[in-house]
């Protein structure tokens, strides 16, 4: 007997939903709410294909993905944030209190596969269509999106490539599938191979022009650099990062412009940015904005869940003049407490809740990848072959702390690069994955409020079984073959 597993079943929903998104041609931010579509006439023109592409991107800003949970996941588990309370919000991410039947965060699995199946349908439809126009750029974006989705998915459910690439990753599904199919997990290595196949196939199809709210050639190259770094393929990571940097298409913010950059959409560093629109995908008091900032004490509004750990504050505190203090706010719960600048206001625009030019301060675009990260990728990749070059790339970002001595070939280290990346990309969804791929132990600031953590020790490393999430029991019930492929320890 065959079962309808969720991974297969969502294809039915995906085909309907992917046809339902409509958009203006000018900009991702102009995408209006969804309407119905006819599958038999879904793609006939480039405009039709762009409608579907916009719809997929819009769904990537759901609360269960870049709109909140994925970003919180990578920070809550990475040791640079802590929390005052347990049992609310997404505190089970911080405590690692997940089992196959509780706190599974199975929306990651279901939601990402829904979007993967939408991209599969879009890619296959483009290959079949006999419509008008050149579909290359849309197909290139769809391939790049599928690579991003698989990269995020395998990092949640599969062990780091650099630690155990032969272990189970996630099912590789590359075409629209029958609802009765029961795909099993591929290896982490096979997932990464497919990710790179998609990225490399897409690059020649993409425009090199800036494409606000969408992907272009350089966004693809930036993602290649990120993926190659996760594979410890340093020559390729460096080459991809340098192509983005040397193109001159994007520019680093000056120290005086860095804080203000968060109040703007599609700034000079923004390589790929997902739009958040009031009254459409603005999540209000459930948004990423709220989770990382703290309302003023005494406020009746919802308070944030996560704030900077003492470890992070000590790192940023190496230079009191570091410009990145400008996006940090007071996270005190009570006025009687000492001032503690642990709240991140990146997703609120600034500490005054200015937003990024829209009507609400929670509708701030998600910056998926910025030029500063590409410089730091280049620094880490070059470290293994040319420490002078690595120091040059690192110093381009390190100068945001003007009182720190510049790195040199004699002083630069991987830990120095990792610390700089932590300071620059705080609350941008990178820390946990960086710590895992580099095999670094992660220590949590549980003692900030004497939190009773049971599901994990204060310090974890790659030997801790819960570094990846379990395959949800609901998915195993629907697709029993996955039972034998459950992550160890669950």
Name the 3-class secondary structure at 189: helix
Residue 308 backbone phi and psi in degrees, to 5: -60, 135
> Domain locations in the chain?
6-206+440-485, 284-364
Q: Into which CATH architecture does domain 6-206+440-485 fall? A: Alpha Horseshoe (1.25)
Residue 428: DSSP 8-state: S
Task: Of 2-11, 140-149, 274-283, 318-327, give the lowest mean pLDDT range.
Answer: 2-11
Residue 300: DSSP 8-state: S
- Mind listing the pLDDT tens digit for each residue in 416-435? 999 999 999 999 999 999 99
Closest alpha carbon to 219 in 234, 233, 207, 230: 207
CA dist., res. 170 & res. 368, Å (int)? 22
- Mind listing the pLDDT tens digit for each residue in 229-250? 999 999 999 999 999 999 999 9
Which pTM was predicted?
0.92
In the block, tokens 């009182």 appear at: 403
Sequence-distant (6+) residues with CB within 8 A of 279 are none
Residue 168 backbone phi and psi in degrees, to 5: -70, 135
- Mind listing the pLDDT tens digit for each residue in 13-60? 444 343 333 333 333 333 333 333 333 446 889 999 999 999 999 999
pLDDT of residue 293: 86
């Amino acid at each position: 007997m065959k079962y309808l597993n969720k991974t297969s079943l969502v294809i039915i929903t995906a085909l309907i939903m992917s046809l339902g998104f409509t958009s203006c041609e000018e900009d991702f931010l102009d995408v209006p709410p969804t309407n119905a579509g006819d599958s038999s006439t879904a793609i006939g023109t480039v405009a039709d294909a762009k409608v579907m592409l916009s719809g997929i991107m819009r769904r990537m800003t759901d609360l269960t993905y870049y709109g909140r949970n994925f970003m919180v996941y990578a920070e809550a588990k990475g040791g640079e944030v802590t929390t005052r309370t347990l049992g609310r919000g997404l505190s089970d991410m911080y405590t690692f209190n997940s089992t196959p039947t509780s706190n599974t965060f199975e929306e990651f699995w279901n939601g990402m596969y829904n979007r993967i199946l939408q991209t599969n349908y879009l890619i296959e439809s483009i290959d079949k269509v006999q419509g008008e126009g050149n579909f290359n750029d849309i197909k290139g974006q769809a391939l790049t999106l599928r690579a991003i989705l698989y990269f995020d998915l395998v990092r949640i459910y599969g062990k780091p490539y650099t630690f155990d690439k032969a272990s189970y990753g996630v099912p590789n599904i590359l075409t629209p599938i029958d609802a009765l199919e029961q795909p099993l997990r591929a290896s982490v290595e096979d997932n990464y191979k497919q990710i790179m196949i998609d990225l490399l196939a897409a690059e020649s199809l993409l425009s090199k022009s800036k494409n606000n709210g969408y992907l272009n050639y350089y966004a693809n190259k930036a993602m290649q650099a990120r993926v190659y770094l996760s594979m410890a393929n340093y020559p390729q990571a460096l080459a991809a990062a340098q192509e983005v940097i040397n193109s001159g298409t994007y520019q680093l913010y000056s120290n005086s412009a860095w804080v203000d950059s968060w109040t703007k959409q599609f700034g000079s560093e923004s390589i790929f940015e997902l739009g958040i629109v009031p009254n459409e995908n603005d999540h209000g008091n459930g948004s990423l904005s709220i989770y990382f900032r703290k309302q003023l004490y005494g406020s009746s509004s919802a308070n944030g869940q996560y704030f900077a750990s003492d470890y992070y504050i000590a790192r940023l505190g190496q230079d009191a003049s570091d410009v990145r203090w400008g996006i940090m706010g007071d996270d005190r719960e009570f006025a009687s407490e000492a001032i503690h600048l642990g709240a991140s206001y990146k997703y609120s625009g600034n500490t005054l809740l200015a937003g990024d030019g829209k009507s609400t301060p929670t509708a701030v675009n998600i910056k998926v990848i910025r030029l500063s990260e590409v410089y730091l990728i280049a620094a880490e990749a070059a470290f293994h072959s040319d420490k002078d070059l690595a120091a040059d790339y690192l110093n381009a970002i390190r100068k945001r702390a003007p009182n720190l001595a510049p790195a040199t070939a004699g002083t630069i280290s991987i830990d120095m690069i990792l610390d700089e990346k932590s300071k620059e990309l705080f609350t941008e969804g990178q820390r946990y994955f960086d710590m895992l791929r580099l095999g670094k132990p992660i220590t949590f600031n549980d003692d900030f409020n004497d939190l009773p953590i049971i599901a994990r020790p204060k310090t974890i490393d790659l030997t801790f079984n819960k570094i990846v999430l379990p395959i949800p029991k609901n998915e195993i019930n629907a697709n029993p073959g996955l039972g034998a492929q459950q992550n160890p320890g669950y």
